[in-house]
Amino acid sequence: MTDIAIDIQDLRKTYGDLVALEGLSLAIAPGEVFGLLGPDGAGKTTTMRLLAGILAPSDGSARVLGMDVFREADGLKRRIGYMPQRFALYGDLTVAENLLFFANIYSVSRAERLKREAELLAFSRLEPFRDRLAMHLSGGMKQKLALACTLMHTPEVLFLDEPTTGVDPVSRREFWRILYTLVNQGVTLFLSTPYMDEAERCTRVAMLNRGRLVRCGTPGELKAGMRGMMLEVIADPMREAKARLTALPGVHDVQTFGERLHVRLDTADAEAAVTAALDGLTLVSLRRIAPGLEDVFNALASGEGPS
Amino acid sequence: MNLHRILRLMKKELIQVRRDRRILAFLFIAPVVQLFLFGYAVSTDVNHVAMAVLDEDRTAASRALIQRFTASGYFDQVAYLSGQAEIDTLLDAGRAQMVLRVPRGFSHDLSRGRGTEIQTLLDGTDSRKARVIEGYTNGVVRLYGSEILRARMQVLRARLPRLPAVDARVRVWYNPELKSVNFMVPGVLCMVLFLITMLMTSLAIVREKEIGTLEQLVVTPLSAGELMLGKTLPFLLIGLIEFVLTLLTAIFIFRVDVAGSIPLLFVLSALFLLTTLGLGIFISTVSKTQHEATLTGFLFFMPFILLSGFIFPVENMPVGIQWATYLIPLRYFLEIVRGIFMRGVGLEVLWPQVLVLAVFGVGILALAAARFSKRLG
Ligand SMILES: Nc1ncnc2c1ncn2[C@@H]1O[C@H](COP(=O)(O)OP(=O)(O)OP(=O)(O)O)[C@@H](O)[C@H]1O
Ligand SMILES: [Mg+2]
């Protein structure tokens, strides 16, 4: 075995004229929690499906655990797990039946299955619901069951496509607790997410936009790479403040977070310039903040890559 | 191929069918309802034909002929016309379905031993019914003719004692009571088998597409072949159970007799299922949703029902359409089932149909399977 769990080289996928993924190259070490970040249509699902061996690449190649994902898909299938974006279970089967079905399809031995089932039910806290039909579970429980189903055969690499989208915050936290348990067991995670706070939990993040890799590194590196500084402004009326700040020279972009505005700019005396620009409006608060991944991402999305 | 995995998939499928009340109800009720509908309610039996009589001959012979019609039990005399002018208004008003016209000179020609003819005018709105009435008319007339012949023969025989007697009698073979239930039940059996297996197979596959589990299955070690077998064999099984159920209902509730071998019927039904399961798989490859699959299913269902001879006998179709019926696998299966049911024949007669059905089955299944595998890969 190599010390690279996922080795992606110049991976490309086109649908007719549409380039869904443009020459992606990444190397992911075993035990990493690798996050794929990008807006809708960035190519996250395409990447996942290519790596899971469902989709034939138009060009380039990818190896997982040293095996070619497309040409050696049959051998690889037992060693990886993939949870599609629209994770799905059989609603008319019970929790236990769903687990049993996937264990059987992966030819998991009976002894191993019983052990695994007990483990998974325990740490997903689904034990009390094992005889409930899956369609009668809550959203968060369904998602945990879907994860448990993909874990029945103890995969070494796990691909999760937006695993927590549409799940309430409490369930998300719970889900991450489970993911960390897996990482401690040595599983390599490759997941995509639209949530910045989730990206911050990753060891490394790749930012994808319109099929291109724009940035890759640890969350810290990405934030450090941001050009300019970040100011958080709370002013009233907010709309007027946003309009004025956007027009201010040296401002790259202004994003709204609830009642707060995040202003990214590189002006020498930023605070003074902002205060002057907001003359006549009520300035509630103004402070420097450290950029979050969200800001990095917005900077990317607004078309201006960080330096 | 891993038999264990296929069995697991089948088991899952059967559990899902068992939990679906609507499908269960459909499986058990549909055959009975269809038997009832096509066997009785939509009876194609023709009785009590409203007949108007225009007797221009007015002789004992013409009255005897007319009496033959009314005595047959198929015709009710509803009007006695005095002239041809009345025929049109009568038929237009729908007061009579048939007019029997005995022309002047009928009896005269008969007694001279000359050929003669009568005229029947039919309301052809319901062509099927008109054809049946035509058949009855021919039967009555032929019987009448043969009796005259016999009477003459008897006269002759008195002079030439060695002359053999000729006895011409119209007899209906295979379905002596002309009960449409006997004719329709084999058809309903075919239709139930066809509809249920094709539709259920395609829906079972498309449903996994719709809820997204198919993508989940594709990343498992299940091969396309295993997936296909696991998804079709349960419906082969259900189809055969359904077949037995329908057959038992037909025999014990509708009192239909099976003249031929039931085991042969069973085996050949399994052969027919190759076609329906193949079509089911094919439909699943062209449909994204269960709704689409159902619509596509009916796209196949309609020509199958109309062109197979299920409702309209193939012999009665225009020649061009008759050629098209050769492309409908159900046509051959229907001939097989009716052959076994009504005529009691076996492979010695039915082998050409069996052969064609086998070719269709293997061909359709192979094409569908190839398309399915390609789509998954
Ligand atoms: N089967 C397909 N045929 C044609 N175009 C496709 C197909 N699948 C994806 N695309 C296109 O490829 C691009 C990338 O899609 P992809 O699903 O990978 O994006 P994503 O990052 O997963 O987006 P989302 O956040 O919406 O899930 C999109 O423009 C999409 O419309
Ligand atoms: Mg996606």
pLDDT tens, residue by residue, A253-301: 888 888 888 888 877 677 888 888 888 888 888 888 877 777 777 776 6
B219 closest CB neighbour out of A53, A87, A92: A53
pLDDT: which is higher, B155 or A83: A83
Joined together, the tokens standing for residue B57 give: 């001959």
Q: What pLDDT score was predicted for residue B119?
A: 85
Q: Whose CA is nearest to atom 4 of ligand 1?
A: A15
Mean pLDDT of B226-238: 92
Digit-coded pLDDT (tens) for B74-123: 888 888 988 888 888 888 887 888 888 988 888 888 888 777 788 888 87
CATH topology of domain B49-156: abc type-2 transporter like fold (3.40.1710)
Q: Which of residues B38 and B54 earns the better pLDDT score?
A: B54
Are residues A187 and A6 in contact, defined by beta-carbon separation less than 8 angstroms? no
The pair of three-digit structure tokens given for residue B367, joined into one six-digit string: 């094409």
Angle ∠(B127,B57,B141) on CA atoms, nearest 5: 45
Structure confidence at residue B87 (pLDDT): 84
Q: How far is A212 from chain B (nearest CA, A)?
A: 25
In the reported structure, the alpha carbon of residue A56 is separated from the centroid of ligand 1 by a whole-number distance in angstroms of 15
Helices (H) and strands (E) counted in chain B, each on its own, are 14, 4
Identify all chain B residues contacting A90, using CB atoms and an 8 Å cutoff: 12, 16, 211, 213
**pLDDT at residue A255, rounded to an integer:** 82
Cα distances from B191 to residues A164, B194, B292, B321, B358, in angstroms, run: 47, 5, 21, 20, 18
Task: Read off the pLDDT of each residue in B328-344 and give the average, rounded to a whole number.
Answer: 88
Map out the domains of chain B as residue ranges.
3-42+179-376, 49-156
Task: Return d(Cα B28, Cα B11) in angstroms, integer.
Answer: 20
**Stretch B345-351: mean pLDDT:** 88
A52 touches chain B (CB under 8 A): yes
CA of A40 to the centre of ligand 1 (A): 8
Following CA atoms A179, A184, A190, A191 in sequence, which dihedral angle do they give, to the nearest 10 degrees? 20
Using DSSP's 3-state secondary structure scheme, residue B14 falls into helix
Most B CBs within 10 Å, among A80, A90, A105, A158, to test the B interface? A105
Give the pLDDT score at B183: 72
Average pLDDT over residues A115-141: 91
Domain range A227-290, CATH architecture: 2-Layer Sandwich (3.30)
Contact across the interface for A90 and B212, Cβ inside 8 Å: no
Q: Which residues of B fall within a CB distance of 8 Å from A82?
A: 216, 219
- Residue B221: which of A56, A74, A86 has the nearest Cβ? A74
Query: In a mutagenesis test of the A interface, which of B5, B9, B12, B16 is the best target, namely the one with the most A β-carbons within 10 Å?
Result: B12
Structure tokens at B85: 């002018």
Task: Sort out which chain A residues have CB atoms less than 8 A from B212's CB and list them.
Answer: 84, 86-88
Q: Which atom of ligand 1 is nearest to the CA of A46?
A: 18
User: Residue A199: is its pLDDT beyond 70?
Assistant: yes
How far from chain centre, in Å, is Cα B76?
Answer: 28
Q: Does B20 touch chain A (CB under 8 A)?
A: yes
- Over the stretch B2-37, which tens digit does the pLDDT of each residue have? 899 999 999 999 999 999 888 888 888 887 887 777
Q: Is the overall model pTM greater than 0.90, yes or no?
A: no
Block residue for tokens 């007061």? B95
Q: Which two tokens stand for residue B134?
A: 């035509």
Minimum-distance ligand to the CA of A194? Answer: 1
Q: Domain A6-222: what homologous superfamily?
A: P-loop containing nucleotide triphosphate hydrolases (3.40.50.300)
Predicted local confidence at residue B112, as pLDDT: 81
- The amino acid that residue A159 corresponds to is F
Rounded to a whole number of angstroms, the distance from the CA of A142 to the nearest CA of chain B is 13
A84 interfacial to chain B (CB closer than 8 Å): yes
- Chain B residues 202-221 with a CB less than 8 Å from chain A: 211-213, 215-221
Q: Taking CB atoms and an 8 Å limit, are B221 and A105 in contact across chains?
A: yes
Ligand 1 pocket: which of A14, A17, A21, A45 to mutate (most atoms <8 Å of CB)?
A45
Enter the tokens of residue B54: 């225009």
Considering only CB atoms, B19 lies closest to which of A74, A92, A106, namely: A92
Q: How far apart are CA A26 and CA A51, in angstroms?
A: 12
* Residues in chain B closer than 8 A to A104 (CB atoms): 4-5, 8
Q: State residue B167's pLDDT score.
A: 39
pLDDT at B292: 94
**Tens-place pLDDT, residues B159-189:** 655 544 443 344 444 444 545 667 778 888 8
pLDDT band (50, 70, 90) for residue A222: confident
Q: Rounded to 5 degrees, what are φ and ψ at B121? A: -115, 130
Asked if pLDDT for residue A196 goes beyond 60, the answer is yes
Phi, psi of A186 (to 5 degrees): 100, 10
**Ligand 1 neighbours (beta carbon < 6 A):** A 15, 18, 20, 38, 40-46, 85
CB-CB contact of A237 with A259 (8 Å): no
Q: Which atom of ligand 1 is nearest to the CA of A40?
A: 25
State the residue for tokens 């061009």. Answer: B320
Ramachandran bin of A190, using left for φ above 0, alpha for ψ from -120 to 50, beta for the remaining angles: beta
Q: Cβ of B222 under 8 Å from any chain A Cβ?
A: yes
pLDDT for residue A63 is more than 60:
yes
Shortest alpha-carbon distance between residue B235 and chain A (Å) = 18
Domain ranges of chain A: 6-222, 227-290
pLDDT at residue B271, rounded to an integer = 93
B127 has pLDDT over 70: no
User: Mind telling me how many Å the CA of B292 is from chain A's nearest CA?
Assistant: 21
Q: What is the dihedral of CA B238, B244, B246, B252, to 10 degrees?
A: -150
pLDDT at A44: 93
- Identify the pLDDT of residue A198: 84
Please report the pLDDT score of residue B42 as a whole number.
55
- Which residue of A12, A21, A24, A46 sits with most ligand 1 atoms within 8 Å of its CB, as the best mutation to test the pocket? A46
What residue of A is the nearest CA neighbor of B12?
A101
| For residue A226, pLDDT beyond 90 | no
Cα A18 to ligand 1 centroid, rounded to whole Å: 10
Asked if the Cβ–Cβ distance from B219 to A54 is below 8 Å, we say yes
- Is the CB of residue A80 less than 8 Å away from at least one CB of chain B? yes
How far apart are the C-alpha atoms of B86 and B52, rounded to whole Å? 10
Smallest Cβ distance to B20: which of A86, A92, A104? A92
- Is residue A7 within 8 Å of residue A63, measured between CB atoms? yes
Share of chain B above pLDDT 70, in %: 90
pLDDT confidence tier of residue B137, bands split at 50, 70 and 90: confident
What secondary structure does DSSP assign to A213-241, as a single string?
EEEEE-HHHHHHT--SEEEEEEEESHHHH
pLDDT for res B170: 42
Max mean pLDDT range (A139-153, B39-53, B89-103): A139-153
CA torsion sign, B194 to B200 to B205 to B210? positive
ipTM of the complex: 0.78
- Give the nearest partner residue to B212 out of A88, A92, A102, using CB atoms: A88
**Residue of A80, A88, A91 lying closest to B216 (CB–CB):** A88
> What distance in angstroms lies between residue A19's CA and the mean position of ligand 2's atoms?
15
